A and B are shown apart, each in its own frame.
Chain A
Amino acid sequence: MAEIRIENVSKVFGDHVAVDNANLTIHDKEFLVLLGPSGCGKTTLLRAIAGLGMADAGTITIGDRDVTYLRPGERKISMVFQSYAIFPHMTVRENIGFGLKMNGSGADEIKKNVDEAAELLHIEQLLDRRPSDMSGGQRQRVAVARALAMKAEVLLMDEPLSNLDALLRLEMRAELKRLLQDVGATTIYVTHDQIEALSMGDRIAVMRDGVIQQCDEPSTVYADPSNRFVGGFIGNPPMNFLDGLVRADGDEVRVSVGGNDIAPAPHMASALAGFDGRPITVGIRAENMKAMTGQADGSVPVTVQVVEPLGSQNLLTVDVGENRLKVSTHPTFDVSAGDTLWVQFPPDQIRWIDPATEEVVSSGETTVGA
């Protein structure tokens, strides 16, 4: 069992709070992705888990061991570094076997584990070569093999694919996912690439400014962001945000956007009624809107500014009053800049965000925890 519990962990550098009171539980054999823009504290949190820089507050537990004060070597973890950190003066075999040598494994066991790890990564033929004459992709495989050879229950990965070029990254992503499923270690994977996060993670923890914003399965994080930041960070294009004004008239709640009224879903009505007379932010993803050439029920007129044909879809940039938003359409949808279109906002696809807190307004029926 290697469940990782992070409780109230904080880390400061001088007067900069890098990780602010993080709480997170990673289940045994789970693949958790720590996602966030650069400088959000995700690597700092990973390093705190690894023991490279002690947490300034809180506790970290792996399985039933409190590792908060343990040195990295004592935590029974393994790690793939962003720069790979391959030891340049050792052969690939020595690199992969380093951890085993350090924990005093016998020569036979080292050889067996090294060979196994090399086979998993298809680098048997590189074992006696030195890292200096290897490609980036090969080094990456060595770094992963070295981490796997330890057979640790916890595997930490710090942006392992960020130094590869695009094509190789795509290939490695799929291979890593398959590999890690087979290995079955509890994995924490740090990345700033949302595609990696969405495609690989069992769950994604989104961080910003040292604070964990949301931790959920990829589909939930995508469809039901807990706040404006998560919605804006995940997805390409990111979620659209429009300024609206709430008008409650008894049971009837309307939100006016650019002079047009939008009706919220019925289950949201009571929650939105509290915003009567106050502004609200309307959040909706590009693919969830329906663009039409003619007016329909509840549709809003928009002016097309830019048409970007992307092959599988056409991405339109349109103006609604003061707001600009992205709408995706079928590639055959024929439109050009300057045209006027009508766009429908399906009520159950709209996420209502309180502009003051930037939190998504919940209907009161479910709670979304940060």
Chain B
Amino acid sequence: MSDATRIQERKQRPTTGRIATYLGAFTIAFWILFPIWFMFSMAFTTREEVRSFPKSVFPFTPFSTDTMEFFLGVDGVMSGLINSIIVAVITVVLSTVISAPAGYAISRYIFPGRDLFRLGVLAVRAFPVVVLSIPLAVLFIRANLFDNILSVALMHTILTLPTTILVISSVFASVPYELEEAGQVFGASPWQSFRHIVLPLVVPGIAAASVLTFVLSWNEVFAASVLTLENRTLPALLLNQLSQSGPAYQFAGGFFLMIPSLIFMFVIRKYLFNMWGQVSK
């Protein structure tokens, strides 16, 4: 066999199209990254620098955790953070536990009402958050669940449920049913073949869906603001204190809101496409 290194890949002459592609790619990347970069640099510098004008366009000078420490020390911020985490975790658990069987059912069974169910799920997804928040708040007040983070978690579960169901059903659909049948042919019970064959194959996909759910819950601000008064989640707290707070508080708060999505988007970047492909159907 011949040795590839002796043939140099012929460098394509840089066409205008190629140049335009890279120009576009870097311009758009800059447009997206620069504001994030600025916010991060402001979150990790001194409060004097954050208040000053003109600000240094060069980031992280001087580097300091002063802004961060100040922000975390503000009354309510720590509890807001903890509330946000609790709400997101409850949402992930509820949403996954409820969606997984439903996703499995619509990917594996044909039954009367299946299309209706899918349509219903899609309809819920298309409903505006704003529309659902008010009546839910009224119901939660009647049920003495108002200003309780459980109510926020229930609301977020509703918001994420349709997406999670559709994503999980596509994850199951990607595992051929023949594999389960093969398992059963070789003597496994339906449950065993699900447990030992399907589950290991779908766990990464379901985990990615959970991560997406976490981020959606973490970011959600309207419902959280409507449903709480004292027990605010972080976004609801920030929204309500925005007008009375200084720039240091805002930068640090913005930083905290962004961090999970940056990390989780990186973790699930491989699944991003499959998921949004599903979601956008």
Contacts and interface: CB of A to CB of B under 8 A. Distances in A.
Interface stretch (B6-14, B102-110, B209-217): B6-14
Interface stretch (A53-61, A190-198, A274-282, A294-302): A53-61
Interface stretch (A14-22, A119-127, A239-247): A14-22
Interface string B188-211: 000000000000000000000000
A209 B3 CA distance: 12
Nearest to A19: B7
A56 B7 contact: yes
B1 interface: yes
A17 B9 CA distance: 10
A10 interface: yes
A265 interface: no
Interface in B3-60: 3-5, 7-10, 12-13
A210 interface: yes
B4 to A, nearest CB: 4
A16 B13 CA distance: 22
Interface residues of A, number: 15
Given A54-B12, A69-B13, A12 B7 contact: yes
A57 B10 contact: yes
Contacts of B9: 12, 56
Interface string B205-238: 0000000000000000000000000000000000
Instruction: Name the prevailing secondary structure of the B interface residues.
Output: loop
A15 B2 CA distance: 10
Contact of B1 (A10, A55, A56, A209): A209
Contacts of A15: 4-5
Interface in A16-67: 16-17, 20, 54-57
A17 B10 contact: no
Contacts of A55: 10
How many residues of B sit at the interface, in one of the four size bands?
Answer: 10 to 19
B15 to A, nearest CB: 9
B12 A16 contact: no
Nearest to A55: B10
A17 B7 contact: yes
- Centre residue among B5, B10, B13 by max chain A CB count within 10 A: B10
A210 B4 CA distance: 11
A34 to B, nearest CB: 19
A26 to B, nearest CB: 22
Contacts of A12: 4, 7, 9
A204 B9 CA distance: 28
A52 to B, nearest CB: 13
B10 A20 contact: no
A317 B9 CA distance: 48
Interface in B112-127: none
Given A20-B2, A56-B10, A57-B7, 16 more contacts: A10-B7, A12-B9, A14-B4, A15-B4, A15-B5, A17-B3, A17-B4, A20-B7, A54-B12, A56-B8, A56-B9, A57-B8, A69-B13, A209-B1, A210-B2, A211-B2
10 contacts: A12-B4, A12-B9, A17-B7, A20-B2, A56-B8, A56-B9, A56-B10, A69-B13, A209-B1, A211-B2
**Closest 6 pairs between A and B when the two form their complex, measured CB to CB:** A15-B4, A56-B10, A10-B7, A20-B2, A17-B2, A17-B4
